[in-house]
Amino acid sequence: MPPHLIVINADREYVPGAADPNGRFYARAVITRLDGRPVYKNFVMYQIEEGAKFDELQDALGDAEVRARTAINDGFPDF
């Protein structure tokens, strides 16, 4: 497997009218190559869009990691 770097960013959804902190967590990921070459076709990064929402931050981060590793293993499928 080529050397990849996975960067995961999590956020909390905003629930209008609810006291802070509010909402559940969701995460997205960006995959790049450590050597700077294109990851997929001529793209230097491959983005994994936000996924399901979770009550716990760690669950959202784990979900994004699994989806990113699946994309790598599947050869970066078109969505």
pLDDT in tens, 23-40: 999 999 999 999 999 998
CA angle at 14 for the pair 10 and 20, rounded to the nearest 5°? 100
**Is residue 19 pLDDT above 90, yes or no?**
no
**Is residue 15 pLDDT above 80, yes or no?**
yes
- Does residue 14 or residue 69 have the better pLDDT? 69
Q: What is the distance between the alpha carbons of residues 60 and 13, in angstroms, rounded to a whole number?
A: 12
- The model's pTM is 0.86
pLDDT at 52: 95
Q: What is the distance between the alpha carbons of residues 5 and 65, in angstroms, rounded to a whole number?
A: 11
